[in-house]
């Protein structure tokens, strides 16, 4: 099933608007509109942290001529240009920075004036929680309230009052979960390198069937875990990345003993792992800025490293689609797409930058993206956003669209919200799609739990 997501163009004002890669959506037909009055403009939404903004909306049927209008935020005044105006039904996010330099505080107020000094609208807010916005519900004339998810440039949606995707089951843990991979006989392997534990958990009931001590792989001299990545094969074999011997090693689930599957000594210390459909394995060599893939017989298929043309600096999490290996590089702030056959650089895709972050250049990814997975059945790539408590979705059915800035990088939207309830995500890191079970597993570090959600339902809730 393929999804499409597009950006509409904005007929707007001579003040700071969102950049091209976060351009607001336009509602209604703006063709041929001429200045004909004040419309019905409201201060619709504000956010004070994580790329602050003030949003305006024209709820009227006419274009609002806003030449010389003034927006007072606290004690800071912004004056609109002589050509400023808003078409009917449009939303505009004024991002702090550029020509709009008024700071937005968690507790403040804003007043919108005409050029003659008449008050158009005013709003006072006190945002009670970090990462929340203050928005009108419904848009325009509705009463203001705290919203768990901001919606710059589009209709407000108070997710704190909406039901999210209901969890199928929850598996709780102490410490941190690094990765999850499928196991045999309706199970999943869950790796906790910092705690030195590898657990096998039932997919249907979330019962821990086996807990394997990874004492054979002690911490590195610098204190980092001796193993990080986790990978499995359909026959139940499981392997991890061994930082001490610089190898991918298979683990005996009964004794915790290890045996070398493939050496990475010529490449560097292995970090994260992902299995390919043909039985091969790809590995990130984080400290050396490299990524390599091995064939099913453990022979090296290809190696790619960072350069002036390949943005690999500290690659970590990675996953494979039908034709690409997508690698998260936190330092480079990129999701790097490499050709699955030969490792050649294909391009990058954008994450949070698609709708939330003005300060990131097109094609960059927020450092809060910590996990990545792919659903072959849905042709959707899923990335966690640990800072905003949500999951981002990308349509992979057309690679040219996925990697093209002109098509918004195949971005579909986001699902989830920050919180501690069963249908909320405090800090999602690891993620794994299991289409065979219609499950999406997310490791929520803030709430110390792995939550299983219905995969199809989660994808259907992505904004398209």
List pLDDT tens digits, range 93-133: 888 876 788 988 888 999 999 999 999 999 998 865 555 68
Half-sphere exposure of 144 (CA within 13 A, CB side): 21
Q: How confident is the model at residue 328, as a pLDDT?
A: 92
Q: Which residue has the higher pLDDT, 6 or 353?
A: 353
Summarize the confidence of residues 189-196 as an average pLDDT.
Answer: 95
Residue 2 has pLDDT above 50, yes or no: no
Give yes or no for residue 155 having a pLDDT over 70.
yes
* Three-state secondary structure call for residue 160: helix
Length of the chain: 464
Percent of the chain beyond pLDDT 70?
81
Q: Please give the pLDDT value at position 357.
A: 47
* Distance separating alpha carbons of residues 59 and 273, to the nearest angstrom: 50
DSSP-assigned letters across all residues of 357-373: -SSSPTT---TT---EE
Amino acid 238: pLDDT: 96
Q: What is the pLDDT of residue 130?
A: 52
Among candidate residues 148, 161, 160, 123, the one with its CA nearest the CA of residue 45? 123
For 128-157, what is the HEC assignment?
CCCCCEEEECCCCCCCEEEECCCCCCCCCC
pLDDT of 32 above 50: no
In angstroms, the CA 111 to CA 124 distance is 9
pLDDT band at 463 (very low <50, low <70, confident <90, very high): low
Question: Residue 46's closest CA among 96, 120, 84, 116?
Answer: 96
pLDDT bucket at 27, cuts 50 / 70 / 90: very low
Q: What is the pLDDT of residues 296-351, one digit of tens each?
A: 999 999 999 999 999 999 999 999 999 999 999 888 878 899 999 999 999 887 54
Q: What is the pLDDT of residue 365?
A: 62
Look at residue 460 and give its three-state secondary structure: helix
Whether residue 1 is predicted with pLDDT greater than 50 in this model: the reply is no
Segment 401-437, tens digit of pLDDT? 777 655 444 566 667 767 777 778 888 899 999 999 9
Q: 259-276 pLDDT, tens per residue?
A: 999 999 999 999 999 999
Categorize the per-residue pLDDT at 461 as very low, low, confident or very high, splitting at 50, 70 and 90: confident
What pLDDT does residue 129 have? 53
Largest CA distance in the chain: 80
Beta carbons within 8 Å of 256's beta carbon, 6+ residues apart:
198, 212, 213, 214, 215, 216
Residue, of 463 and 286, whose pLDDT is higher: 286
Cα–Cα distance measured from residue 261 to residue 299, given in angstroms and rounded to the nearest whole number: 10
pLDDT score for 415: 72
Architecture of domain 169-460: 7 Propeller (2.130)
The beta strands (E) that lie in 184-333 are given as 187-192, 197-202, 208-213, 227-232, 238-242, 247-251, 258-263, 273-275, 281-285, 290-294, 300-305, 315-320, 324-329
Closest CA to 96 of 45, 149, 49, 148: 49
Per-residue pLDDT, 15 = 34
Tell the burial category of 32 from Cβ atoms under 10 Å away from its Cβ (0-12, 13-18, 19+): exposed
**Enclosing H/E stretch for 401:** helix 399-402
Share above pLDDT 90 across residues of the chain, in percent, rounded to a whole number? 50
Residue 140 reports pLDDT greater than 60: yes
Question: Strands 107-113 and 41-47: what pairing?
Answer: unpaired
Who wins on pLDDT, 9 or 230? 230
pLDDT range class, residue 158, cuts 50, 70, 90: low
CA gap 232, 182 in Å, rounded: 7
Whether the pTM exceeds 0.75: the reply is no
Q: What architecture does CATH give domain 20-161?
A: Sandwich (2.60)
Q: How confident is the model over 353-369, as a mean pLDDT? A: 52
Contacts of 374 (CB under 8 A, 6+ apart): 319, 320, 321, 326, 380, 381, 382, 396, 433
Where are the chain's structural domains? 20-161, 169-460
> Per-residue pLDDT tens for 46-81?
988 656 889 999 999 999 999 999 999 999 999 999
Are 395 and 5 in contact by the 8 Å Cβ rule? The answer is yes
Most confident range (mean pLDDT) of 249-263, 285-299, 370-384 is: 285-299
Answer yes or no: are the C-beta atoms of 140 and 44 closer than 8 Å: yes
pLDDT for 127: 66
Structure tokens at 38: 């004040």
pLDDT confidence of 35, banded at 50, 70, 90?
very low
């Amino acid at each position: 099933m393929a999804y499409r997501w597009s950006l509409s163009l904005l007929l707007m004002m001579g003040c700071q608007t969102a950049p091209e890669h976060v351009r607001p959506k336009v509602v209604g037909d703006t063709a041929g509109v001429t200045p004909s009055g004040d419309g019905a403009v409201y201060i619709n939404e504000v956010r004070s942290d994580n790329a602050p903004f003030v949003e305006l909306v024209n709820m009227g049927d006419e274009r609002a001529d806003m030449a010389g209008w003034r927006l007072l935020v606290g004690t800071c005044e912004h004056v609109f240009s002589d050509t400023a105006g808003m078409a009917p039904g449009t939303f505009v996010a004024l991002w702090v920075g550029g020509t709009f330099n008024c700071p937005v505080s968690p507790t403040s107020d804003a007043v919108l004036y005409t050029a003659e000094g008449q008050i158009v609208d005013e709003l006072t807010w006190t945002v009670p929680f970090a990462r929340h916005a203050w928005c009108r519900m419904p848009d325009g004339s509705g009463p203001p309230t705290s919203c768990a998810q901001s919606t710059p440039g589009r209709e407000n949606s108070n997710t704190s009052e909406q039901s999210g995707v209901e969890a199928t089951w929850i598996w709780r843990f102490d410490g941190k979960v690094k990765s999850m991979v499928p196991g045999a006989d309706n199970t999943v392997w869950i790796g906790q390198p910092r705690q030195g534990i590898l657990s096998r958990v039932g997919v249907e009931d979330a019962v821990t069937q086996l807990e394997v001590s990874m004492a054979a792989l002690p911490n590195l001299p610098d204190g980092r875990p001796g193993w990080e990545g986790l990978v499995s094969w359909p026959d139940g074999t499981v392997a991890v990345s061994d930082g001490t011997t610089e190898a991918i090693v298979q683990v005996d689930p009964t004794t915790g003993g290890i045996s070398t599957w493939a050496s990475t000594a010529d490449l560097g210390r292995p970090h994260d792992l992902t299995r390919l459909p043909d039985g091969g394995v790809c590995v990130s060599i984080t400290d050396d800025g490299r990524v390599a893939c091995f064939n099913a017989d453990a022979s090296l298929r290809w190696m790619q490293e960072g350069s002036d043309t390949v943005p690999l600096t500290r690659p970590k999490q990675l996953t494979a689609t039908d034709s690409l290996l997508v690698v998260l590089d936190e330092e480079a702030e990129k999701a790097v797409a490499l050709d699955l056959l030969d490792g050649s650089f294909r391009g990058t895709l954008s994450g949070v930058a698609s709708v939330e972050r003005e300060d990131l250049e097109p094609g960059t990814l927020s450092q809060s993206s910590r996990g990545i997975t792919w659903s072959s059945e849905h042709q959707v790539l899923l990335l966690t956003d640990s800072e905003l408590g949500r999951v981002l979705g990308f349509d992979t059915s057309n690679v040219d669209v996925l990697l093209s800035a002109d098509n918004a990088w195949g971005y579909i939207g986001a699902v989830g919200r920050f919180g501690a309830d069963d249908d909320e995500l405090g800090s999602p890191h690891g993620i794994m799609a299991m289409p065979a079970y219609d499950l999406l597993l997310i490791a929520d570090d803030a709430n110390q739990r792995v939550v299983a959600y219905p995969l199809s339902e989660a994808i259907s809730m992505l904004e398209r």
